[in-house]
Structure 1
Amino acid sequence: MPESVSSPGRRTTHKGDRPLVIHDRLRLSTAVIGLTAIAFTGFIAATPAQAEPEIKDVQARVDRLYHQAEQAQERYHDAQLQLDDLTEDLGTLESDERRQDARLDVVRDQVRESVLRQYQGEGISTVGQVVVSEDPGAFLGQLSTMSAFNDLQSDLFSSYSTELDALDLRHEATTERSSEIADVTAQLSDEKKEVDAKLAEAKTLLSELKDEERTRLLALSRGGSTTRLPSDVPASGRAAAAVGYAMAQVGDSYVYGAAGPSAFDCSGLTMMAWAQAGVGLPHSSSAQYGSGPHIAASDLQPGDLVFYYSPISHVGMYIGNGLIVHAANPGTGVAVSGLYSMPYVGAVRPG
């Protein structure tokens, strides 16, 4: 049978006028089918393996957003404490300024009487200006231009100058506090917006999951951060009241800024727990870190407060046996976890 070349690199065999490429086509079809089968088998095998990392990735992102929101919330608490102090200080300064203004009025009246006695019967316009002037600075300036200034009682003039300086200082302090209050109020607004934004982003991530995936994610979250409740916590004294309250809240919801009765954030839970023992704590994890003596991890006792992250943005309560009770995050709520389940910073013993 004669051979011919139908195209470069391909040999064909003629039978009549039709080229036969049966063997080439058969080999090509077999190869394609084999590759398709391998690819399909690989896809089937890879799909389940890829689902697990995706869920874990979403969990990590949600947990990170929860923590960022908690950091903003704790900064909000710090700013609120600062605002409370500034507002109280402003009230004191305003009262002091009013008292100083009253003292200045008394001295001004005394100076006026002295001027009138000295210039009684004389029609000096400057005297009239001094008598009717209500502006403290103008009063002092007009007084100093009088031709017979040196004849005035020097102690009265000195008293008036001193009281006026004191009033100016108080007014400046009041103005400064008012400005600081405005700045802190703006910070509060910014922190609240960040809390809301991070929480909304976390909810959006969760909403994009299918129902079964969301259920699985929440189960992973709870399974990774909670521990079986201890049957007994060996606490005594005031610490027993604090621990008892905190343990009674296990299972309650986590809500940013909440301090009971059925929802808490981390510092809200510890604040309310120790309030049952008659100990007042600020609603701030970083402020609670400065509320008592620092305790080494090896000396921890039930009721001690334990702190996490740098800067500090989370607090829980030690309950013994290497465990803590804390308001964890919106996905977990109030739970029992391991002492070192988060980056540990230190501990404080309240009371």
Structure 2
Amino acid sequence: MRAAAGHTARPVAGVLRKDVTVQVAAHRKPRQRSLGRNTARTAATLALAGAATATAFDGTGNAEPQLTPTQVKAKVDKLYQEAETATEKYNGAKEQADTTQRRLNSLRDETARKQDKLNSAREALGSYAAAQYREGGIDPAWQLALSSDPDQYLDGATFAERAGERQAGAVTRVRQQLREIEQLRGAARIELKSLRSRQAELKRQKKTITGKLAEARSLLARLTPAQRAQATGDGTAPGRASRSASDARADLEQAGSTAAPGTRAAAAVAYAYQKLGSPYVWGATGPDAFDCSGLVQAAYRSAGVSLPRTTYTQINAGRRVSRSELQPGDLVFFYSGISHVGIYVGNGRMIHAPNPSAPVRLAPIDQMPFAGATRVA
């Protein structure tokens, strides 16, 4: 009985041990699940915190402090001025590129003409050489001896000698033409290199301009329409621009014949009035859109006066006048880098193409730093 009892006790103990093991395992499992849930919550919290931190770093979560309309206007004005400086550099590079392209085209045309002339001369020399080859198989002394008419032969020989001298001159001219063509090709290579440099400059300035304008648009997009009108200086009610133009024309007529220094200046001013409301487009010279120097150039072109393309060359295109001497038709320039220009129309006002946020308009010359004035007609 003891042995049986002892034998019976071991399975019981085994069962007990198995039950304990099961209970321990069962006890651990829920704790692991609970730890898993905590870990998931912790991971989620860390992930959100990380996302918030990353967002703060890339500037999309914690936005930069809200700018006031006045601050936006200051930043936008600076961007527009920088873009206009780049625009004038672009205009200058384009003018030079166009001039270089015309020179290159002229060189290529001249080279083609000389090449045609050279080809004709070569054909003539080729015919002469072929004839000499055909007739040169017999020594001239034998030709004389075998000739049935020696006098006629001698006359022919004299003619051939003179013809040979003429052909020698032709050869000299061909060689000269070859040298000229090579010189033209060398000049064309130089012009082509210059053109590519100008085109690279155009690309750089265009990138600068578009970047500045895009940044300005982004800033303005944050504002309400009313704030945007304040920031761009366009606080006029609908129809105000046309009434201002009428008022300015009346002022010009009221001033009499002394309002403009000459008929060409008056014609340029009249053209500028006609273009009020036209859009600003950088690099444009009309007739439907303009940048600042493009408007000035187009206005005087309509009056029969040819002006350079850029602000920094236009200021030297006429006689400098002081601010106190201003008359309608004078060109007024702004900023230290001479990056903006308008046409003075009297009473302290000008017509100018301001920037992409505003069309061609009337404006006081006091709204920008005055840099000088020029009278071109």
TM-score higher than 0.5 here? yes
TMscore range, shorter length: 0.5 to 0.7
CA contact (8 A) 1:115 1:152 kept: no
Q: Does 1:266 align with 2:292?
A: yes
Measure the CA separation in 1 of the matches of 2:284 and 2:184: 38
In the alignment, residue 168 of structure 1 is paired with which amino acid? Answer: E
2:214 to 191, 197, 200: 200
Aligned to 1:346: 372
CA distance 1:216–1:344, change in 2 (3 Å): closer
Q: Does 1:71 align with 2:85?
A: yes
In the alignment, residue 344 of structure 1 is paired with which amino acid? Answer: F
In the alignment, residue 96 of structure 1 is paired with which amino acid? Answer: E
Aligned to 1:14: none
User: Larger % of strand: which?
Assistant: 1
Aligned-pair CA distance for 1:85: 1.5
Q: Secondary structure at the match of 2:251?
A: coil
In the alignment, residue 91 of structure 2 is paired with which amino acid? Answer: H
1:320 to 346, 350, 365: 346
CA distance 1:200–1:122, change in 2 (3 Å): same
After superposition, give the CA deviation of every residue in 1:124-175 in whole Å (9 maximum; x if it has no partner).
xxxxxxxxxxxxxxxxxxxxxxxxxxx9965344322221111100111222
Aligned-pair CA distance for 1:202: 0.4
1:181 to 178, 195, 202: 195
Normalised to the residue count of structure 1, the TM-score between the two structures is 0.65
Structure 2: 5+ residue stretches without partners: 1-64, 138-164, 253-258
Q: Does 1:88 align with 2:88?
A: no
Measure the CA separation in 2 of the matches of 1:322 and 1:97: 55
Aligned-pair CA distance for 1:344: 3.3
Aligned to 1:306: 332
Aligned-pair CA distance for 1:203: 0.7
Q: Secondary structure at the match of 2:333?
A: strand
In the alignment, residue 267 of structure 1 is paired with which amino acid? Answer: S
Q: Does 1:106 align with 2:132?
A: no
Aligned to 1:30: none
After superposition, give the CA deviation of every residue in 1:303-347 in whole Å (9 maximum; x if it has no partner).
011223344321111223433221122334333334354343333
Aligned to 2:356: 330
CA distance 1:345–1:158, change in 2 (3 Å): farther
Aligned-pair CA distance for 1:64: 0.9
Measure the CA separation in 2 of the matches of 1:326 and 1:247: 10
Measure the CA separation in 2 of the matches of 1:112 and 1:218: 75
Measure the CA separation in 2 of the matches of 1:175 and 1:56: 53
Q: Does 1:170 align with 2:184?
A: yes
Measure the CA separation in 2 of the matches of 1:106 and 1:255: 51
CA contact (8 A) 1:324 1:339 kept: yes
Sequence identity, in percent?
37
CA contact (8 A) 2:229 2:235 kept: no
Aligned to 2:251: 232
Aligned to 1:286: 312
CA distance 1:246–1:163, change in 2 (3 Å): same
CA distance 1:86–1:200, change in 2 (3 Å): same
User: Larger % of helix: which?
Assistant: 2
How many residues matched? 271
Aligned-pair CA distance for 1:251: 4.6
- Greater Rg by CA: 2
Structure 1: 5+ residue stretches without partners: 1-49, 124-150
CA distance 1:181–1:118, change in 2 (3 Å): same
CA distance 1:262–1:96, change in 2 (3 Å): closer
CA distance 1:92–1:218, change in 2 (3 Å): closer
CA distance 1:290–1:88, change in 2 (3 Å): farther
Aligned to 1:58: 72
Measure the CA separation in 2 of the matches of 1:60 and 1:67: 11
Measure the CA separation in 2 of the matches of 1:118 and 1:216: 90
In the alignment, residue 251 of structure 2 is paired with which amino acid? Answer: D
Q: Secondary structure at the match of 1:155?
A: helix
Normalised to the residue count of structure 2, the TM-score between the two structures is 0.61
CA contact (8 A) 2:284 2:294 kept: yes
CA contact (8 A) 2:234 2:358 kept: no
In the alignment, residue 208 of structure 2 is paired with which amino acid? Answer: E
